Every structure is written in C-alpha cells, then in structure tokens.
A and B are shown apart, each in its own frame.
Chain A
Amino acid sequence: MIQILGAILVTASTTAVGLAAVQRLGARVTLLSGLVHALEYMQTEIYFNLTPLPVILEHLSQTAAAPLKSFFTRSASYMDKLGDCSFSSLWQCAIQECRNDFQGAEAQLLADMGSMLGKYDAEAQCRAIAYARARVEALLENAEKEKARQGKVYGVLGVMCGLVIVIILI
C-alpha cells in the first residue's frame, strides 16, 4: 500500500515539474504577446493623438495582463517624479524592478526604446517603438515555436521520469 502511495507521489511530483516547465513556456508567450499589443497601443496613441506618455502608461497599467501590468503600474507611478528625474531614468528603474519578469532580450529592447521615448517628435518615437515591436514579435515567434516543440516533451518527460524512478525503486 505504502509502495503504491509512494509511486503515485513520485510520478505526480515529476509530472508537476514537467508541467511547470510547460507553463513557463506559455507564460513567456503570453508576456511577449502582451508586450506586442502594448507597443502597438503606444505607437498608435503617440502617432494619432499625440497622447502624453504618463496617460499611455496609466491606461496600460489598467488594461495589461500580469506581469506586464506591474511593469506599467510602476512606470506610471514614477511619472510623478518627472522634473526631478528624467523619463528615461524612471523607465529604467521600472525595468530594473521588474527584471524577474523579463528576460535579458526584451529588457534590453525596452531599455533602448525608453531612451528614445518622450524626447523627439511623434514620428521618431513611433519608429523606435516599431523597431522594438518587430524585435519583440521575432522573440514571440521563437517562444511560440519553443512552446510547441518543447511543451509536449516537458509534459511527457515529467510523467516518464516519474515512472522510471518508480520502476527502479520497485
């Protein structure tokens, strides 16, 4: 009886590890996809309405899904410090504080884009956003491929590892 219970526990644990890996892949796809939408929104608002950045960030803080929500909420709240700190330094701070949510590539893209935001005319800023968006779209495509390729592997591997361990131990 104890052996069966132990086998179930071991298999369940390794399956959970496998599923967590699958979930991480899915979360990255969700993050990058949300980022593409957010950048698209920023670009449209700046180009057509010349909307101030704090207003854009405030909107995104309310509409974006986690974990982007926390990034935009931080960025929006920092806008009160404009005048004492520059926009790009406040933007950098928000990226730094959310570094656990971003991988190196998108954090760098956001940082580079932030150095262009708010300083130039709408067209120049839109070009910078469009460039960042294209790069994020490429990251998203890779993440989707990885999810499709590795997702099933991780799931099956989790179950199989559990079964192998159970067979060896029994």
Chain B
Amino acid sequence: MEEYMSAIALLPATIRAAAQTLPQRLRGRAEEIRMRVGQPLTVLAENEEHILPADRPFRIQPLDLEQMVEAATRGSVHTALENIRSGFLTVRGGHRIGLCGTAVVKEGEICNLRHLSSLCLRIARQIPGAADDILPRLLDNGRLPNTMIVSPPGLGKTTLLRDMVRQLSDGRDGRSPVRVGLVDERSEIAACYMGQPQLDVGAHTDVLDGCAKAKGMMWLLRGLSPDVLAVDEVTTPEDVASMIQASHCGVRLLCTLHAEVEDDLLRRPLYKSLLPMFQKCVMIEGDRRARVLRILDLSNR
C-alpha cells in the first residue's frame, strides 16, 4: 500500500488522480503501472491489468510520458542517459521506469529514445526477512562461504540477495556485522537515488551503483576492502574473470546466476570456471506461489 502511494507520487497530476482510483484491496498487490500512448492507464495486480479509472478511462498522451520522464530525471536527462540507453530509470523510492519508444541508433547501439510510446513503472518492494531461514544454514562458523543464488527469472534471486546482504551487513543473532561491497550495476539491489540506497541493504554496505560488475568488483576490492563482495546476475566472461580474481583476494563472494535447474547450472560453459570457487549454492525452485529453497554443497564436486 505504502509502496503504491510512493510510486504514484511520481506520476503527473492527472495520471496520479486516475491511479488513486485503484481499489484499496489491490494497492498492496500492485506490481506495475503501465502507460501506453493512446491507451488508458492500467495497473498490473494479481496477474491482471486493471484499467483506471474503471468508470471513465481516458487516453494517455505523449506529453504525459515526457513529463513523467522529466520528473523522474528531475529535469536532467544527462544524469540518466546511460540508464535510458539500458531501457530503464531508477527513481526516488527505488521504483523503476521501463521505457519504450523509437530507438535512436548510432553505430549499432541504442543511444537514446525519441517519441516515447510506453512506460512501465515497476513498484519496488523489498521483503525483509526473506533470508531468515536460509542464511543461518549457509554460515560456517559465523562466516559466509562463497555462495551463489541460482534460479530461473522471477523467483526472487535479487530479493533474497538483498536481504542476505542486509542481514550480513547489519549482523544479527549474535553475529558481528561484516563489511559488504555491493556492485549494483542495474540499480536493482539497493536502488540508489542521488547516492542514497532506497532499499535497505544494511548499515555496513558500500554500494557501487551503475558500474559494470567486472570493473566494479575490482574497484571495491582496491578501495573499500570488503569482507563480502556481492553482485547480481553474473552473465559475462568478464564478470566471471573478475570473480575468480576477487576470490584470490580473501574476500567472500555472494552472487546470483540465471539457471533453470541444477544440471543447467553445471553444464553451462560460462559457469564451469566459476563453480570451483564456490562452496554453497542456493537453488530457488518451483513457481512464484510456491517457491522452494534448496542448498547445494559445491565444495565436494
């Protein structure tokens, strides 16, 4: 409910008024607010897009999208151009705006968008306590072994990673806090806005926001001497090479990876050189409604 209200505060006045007509019972379950030029405003909740206002829907105008982006970037596109090129913006409150329109392509790369056609405001939610059950089972004499969190998309890898980072950083149940270096390339974990994490990642976490993981890990190692180095979605050979290098520096690693099942993880060529560096793997299986967390011991493989 609170997250929904903080998200709609980012909308232009007329759209905000329409968004306020969402029934109270759905506000806590709203996941996305969608604005498409020429179409009515919709809110995704309970796997269904609800048209708002339900009794007298109106069509979104191009100017509405422009004003939304202008407000999101605080009238300063230059601060967010890198993010716009990646297709999204992180805004106050940790919410994310996905962008769509006519791509401006230079030298094969999207360098901007003109004529915005649709926006998707994803409402940021954190689940404090998501790692309550799993973290104590991972610790070895109070220390985190090198751990990877693996699942298909949409099962909560990032949510689990964020809460593990928070709990390690704050320390709890008699554990001392540890320094966590977090490379948040896509601003998904801490959702930094104006340098301040919008989601709780703990009091002893240093967040390097918007930096490529491979470079970011080395940056944090050199300057911030973390006890634990955390990154989301290791996807490139450069990321893997940096993780291997970091593992030789006495730092503990915590990362997430995409893989459908255990075999998928073990078979992928990209991960082959990475697996020997890790002792534990948390597999998230099932579906959104019934997730199952399973710990694999990688040290004997």
Give A contacts to B, CB under 8 Å.
46, 50-54, 79, 82-84, 86-87, 90, 117-122, 125
Offer 24 A-B interface pairs, CB within 8 angstroms, sorted by A: A50-B78, A50-B79, A51-B79, A52-B75, A54-B74, A54-B76, A79-B74, A82-B74, A83-B10, A83-B11, A83-B13, A83-B71, A84-B13, A84-B71, A86-B67, A86-B70, A87-B70, A87-B75, A118-B70, A118-B73, A118-B77, A120-B77, A120-B78, A121-B81
Any A CB within 8 A of the CB of B12:
yes
Q: Which residue of A lies closest to B74 (CB)?
A: A52
Give the 7 A-B CB pairs with smallest separation, nearest first: A83-B71, A87-B75, A52-B76, A118-B75, A122-B78, A52-B74, A53-B76
Contact (Cβ within 8 A) B70 A82: yes
Q: How many A-B residue pairs have CB under 8 A?
A: 58
In the complex, what's the smallest C-beta–C-beta distance from B211 to chain A, in angstroms? 14
In the complex, what's the smallest C-beta–C-beta distance from B13 to chain A, in angstroms? 5
Q: Which residue of B lies closest to A120 (CB)?
A: B77
Interface string of B58-84 (1 = CB under 8 A from A): 000000001110110111111101000
Contact (Cβ within 8 A) A54 B75: yes
Other than the given A83-B13, A120-B77, 15 more pairs (CB < 8 A) read A46-B78, A51-B76, A52-B75, A53-B74, A82-B74, A83-B10, A84-B67, A84-B71, A86-B67, A117-B75, A118-B73, A118-B75, A118-B77, A120-B78, A121-B78
Q: How far is the CA of A114 from the CA of B187 in the complex (A)?
A: 30
Contact (Cβ within 8 A) A121 B70: no
Residues on the A chain within 8 Å of B67, using CB = 83-84, 86
Q: How far is the CA of A33 from the CA of B48 in the complex (A)?
A: 59
Partner of B75, one of A46, A51, A79: A79
Q: How far is the CA of A83 from the CA of B65 in the complex (A)?
A: 10
Q: How far is the CA of A125 from the CA of B79 in the complex (A)?
A: 12
Residues on the B chain within 8 Å of A50, using CB = 76, 78-79
Q: How far is the CA of A32 from the CA of B74 in the complex (A)?
A: 27
Give B contacts to A, CB under 8 Å.
10-13, 66-68, 70-71, 73-79, 81, 194
Q: How far is the CA of A80 from the CA of B219 in the complex (A)?
A: 35
Contact (Cβ within 8 A) A82 B75: yes
Residues on the B chain within 8 Å of A51, using CB = 76, 79
Residues on the B chain within 8 Å of A121, using CB = 77-78, 81
In the complex, what's the smallest C-beta–C-beta distance from B8 to chain A, in angstroms? 12
Q: Which residue of A lies closest to B81 (CB)?
A: A121
In the complex, what's the smallest C-beta–C-beta distance from A73 to chain B, in angstroms? 17
Residues on the A chain within 8 Å of B74, using CB = 52-54, 79, 82
Q: How far is the CA of A50 from the CA of B194 in the complex (A)?
A: 11
Residues on the A chain within 8 Å of B81, using CB = 121
Q: Which residue of B lies closest to A118 (CB)?
A: B75
Contact (Cβ within 8 A) B77 A119: yes
Which of B66, B70, B78 gathers the greatest number of chain A CB atoms within 10 Å?
B78
Residues on the B chain within 8 Å of A53, using CB = 74-76
Q: How far is the CA of A79 from the CA of B79 in the complex (A)?
A: 16
Residues on the A chain within 8 Å of B79, using CB = 50-52
Residues on the B chain within 8 Å of A117, using CB = 75
Q: Which residue of B lies closest to A123 (CB)?
A: B78
Q: How far is the CA of A121 from the CA of B81 in the complex (A)?
A: 7
Q: Which residue of A lies closest to B111 (CB)?
A: A121
Partner of B70, one of A83, A120, A122, A125: A83
Q: How far is the CA of A79 from the CA of B75 in the complex (A)?
A: 8
In the complex, what's the smallest C-beta–C-beta distance from A75 to chain B, in angstroms? 10
Residues on the B chain within 8 Å of A87, using CB = 70, 75
Residues on the A chain within 8 Å of B77, using CB = 118-121
Partner of B12, one of A52, A84, A118, A122: A84
Q: Which residue of A lies closest to B15 (CB)?
A: A83
Q: How far is the CA of A82 from the CA of B72 in the complex (A)?
A: 9
In the complex, what's the smallest C-beta–C-beta distance from B18 to chain A, in angstroms? 14
